[in-house]
Amino acid sequence: DAMVIQNPRYQVTQFGKPVTLSCSQTLNHNVMYWYQQKSSQAPKLLFHYYDKDFNNEADTPDNFQSRRPNTSFCFLDIRSPGLGDAAMYLCATSRDLVGQLDGYTFGSGTRLTVV
C-alpha cells in the first residue's frame, strides 16, 4: 500500500565515505524531489527530476548528486559526507510540476548520521 518508499529508514555512514539513499514510488508520478531537513529547520529542496530532466537548486552543494534510472526509482548520492550533512532526507513525488490535486506525496524519510 505504501506509495513512496525510502530505504533505509536509518543510515549511518563514516565521514568522507560515499553513501546512497534510495527512493521508489508506485504512483507513476512524473516528478521526484529530494529534500534535506536538518533538526528544527524547514525542509530544503536539493533537486528534482521532471521525468529524465534533472533540476538542481542553485545552492545545492556539488557533494550531492542524484540519479533517476527509471520512473520508479530515484537515488541521492553524497560523495563525501561531512558532519554537516547529517539530516533527514525526504523524497517526494508529484504527478506534474504543479501537482495541484494533492500537493506532494512524501516518503517516510531516511535519517542520515555521519560518524
Taking a C-beta distance cutoff of 8 angstroms, is the pair 4, 92 a contact?
yes
Binding mask 66-85 for other proteins (x = CB under 8 A): --------------------
Helices (H) and strands (E) in the chain, counts: 0, 11
Asked whether the CA dihedral 96, 111, 11, 2 is positive or negative, the reply is negative
Between the alpha carbon of residue 52 and those of residues 34, 48, 68, the distances in Å are 15, 10, 7
Q: Which is nearer to other proteins, 81 or 107 (CB)?
A: 107
Binding mask 27-66 for other proteins (x = CB under 8 A): ----x-x------xxxxxx--x-x----------------
Output the smallest distance, CB 43 to other proteins, in A: 5
List residues near other proteins by CB under 8 A. Answer: 4, 6, 9, 31, 33, 40-45, 48, 50, 90, 92, 94, 96-100, 102-109, 111
